[in-house]
Each structure stands twice: as structure tokens, then as C-alpha cells.
């Protein structure tokens, strides 16, 4: 019996944007994103949350400025493409298992998370060299907004012109 080893490039977690913000009922979407992206974060350090049960990233590629990350669990497979420089240039797909539907959408905002992040909702990303928050909006009505937390240990850097690879940690 042959066993294949799948590389663990990091972690990926997505959730409805309302789940990320405990104060979501008091703000509309634009105010929520503005608060996350612009407001200063608390100065008091907090203990990072565990990512032990988070889905693992099995594919992590960067081609030019576009990241492509893929993850899977027994209940879904997910693919997220995003660019920190062009925040609305990406998209996502979530395939629910078994025989579930496919959710699709586009990226709306991308934020690089600082290494010394103190916000407890983001501090679990600190151990990863590459850290991003991605806000997406679904294509199907009611255009659900989701928050994606991405922490990468490394990724393959693929050159667009000659398709050569190099790993980046």
C-alpha cells in the first residue's frame, strides 16, 4: 500500500464576516471593514488562539502578485486567490462535501497582518512568515461576505515567464 505525503504550507480558515466581529450588529459592512483596516489595534498583548484544528493549506503558490492557496477537509475543499497589491483581483471557490453545492465569490479587501499583532482575533497568525486577512463577497444572492485568515509557513514562487519554481519561507 502506497502512502502519499501532502505538504503542509500553513493554515486557512474562513467564516461569515459577522462571526469575526463580535460587534457586527452595530455596524454595516463598510464600517466593519474600515474598523479592521484603519483603526489602531489594542496595545495589550493577548495569548494567541490555537490553530491546531484549522484546515491545513495543501497548495500555496505565488505567481507574480497573486497568491493561490488550497485546503481540504472531509466536509469541503476551498481555493482562494488574492493579491495584497490588487485587493479586488482575486476570487474563491468552496466545494461542500458530500454532494454539496459550490460557493463562488470575489475578493473585496486584503490586509497583511503585522508580525507583532496583538488583536486576539489575529494573533494566532503571528508564527507564520506570511499572514493575510482576506474579505470576500459571494456571487450568489444575498452576496454573503466572508473573512479568510491565511497563515503560510512557505509557498512556491512561480515565475510567470518560464514557469520555474522556488520555495519561499
pLDDT in tens, 46-96: 455 667 778 999 999 999 899 999 999 999 999 999 999 998 899 999 999
Number of domains in the chain: 1
> 106 is in which domain, residue-wise?
10-36+54-113+130-162
Domain assignment present for 21 = yes
Answer yes or no: is pLDDT of 30 > 70: no
CA distance 23 to 114: 23
Residue ranges in the chain assigned as alpha helix (H) = 17-20, 29-38
CA distance 81 to 90: 5
More confident residue, 141 or 91: 91
- Encode pLDDT of 121-139 as tens digits: 888 898 999 999 999 999 9
Mean pLDDT calculated for residue range 12-36: 66
Joined together, the cell numbers standing for residue 62 give 505565488
Domain assignment present for 1 = no
CA distance 72 to 65: 24
Domain assignment present for 158 = yes
Domain assignment present for 46 = no
Domain assignment present for 150 = yes
Domain assignment present for 22 = yes
Mean pLDDT calculated for residue range 14-29: 67
Tell me, yes or no, if the pTM score tops 0.75.
yes
Answer yes or no: is pLDDT of 37 > 90: no
Domain assignment present for 44 = no
Mean pLDDT calculated for residue range 139-150: 93
Domain assignment present for 108 = yes
Contact 57, 12 (CB under 8 A): yes
Amino acid at each position: 500500500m502506497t502512502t502519499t505525503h501532502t505538504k503542509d504550507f500553513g493554515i486557512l480558515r474562513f467564516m461569515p464576516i459577522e462571526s469575526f466581529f463580535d460587534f457586527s450588529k452595530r455596524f454595516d459592512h463598510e464600517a466593519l471593514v474600515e474598523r479592521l483596516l484603519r483603526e489602531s489595534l489594542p496595545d495589550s498583548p493577548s495569548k494567541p488562539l490555537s490553530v491546531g484544528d484549522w484546515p491545513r493549506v495543501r497548495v500555496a503558490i505565488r505567481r507574480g502578485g497573486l497568491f493561490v492557496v488550497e485546503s481540504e477537509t472531509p466536509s469541503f475543499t476551498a481555493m482562494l486567490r488574492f493579491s495584497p497589491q490588487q485587493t479586488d483581483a482575486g476570487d474563491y471557490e468552496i466545494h461542500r462535501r458530500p454532494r454539496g453545492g459550490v460557493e463562488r465569490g470575489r475578493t473585496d479587501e486584503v490586509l497583511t497582518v503585522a508580525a507583532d499583532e496583538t488583536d486576539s482575533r489575529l494573533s494566532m497568525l503571528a508564527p507564520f512568515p506570511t499572514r493575510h486577512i482576506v474579505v470576500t463577497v459571494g456571487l450568489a444572492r444575498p452576496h454573503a461576505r466572508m473573512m479568510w485568515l491565511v497563515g503560510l509557513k512557505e509557498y512556491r514562487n512561480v515565475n510567470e515567464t518560464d514557469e520555474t519554481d522556488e520555495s519561499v519561507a
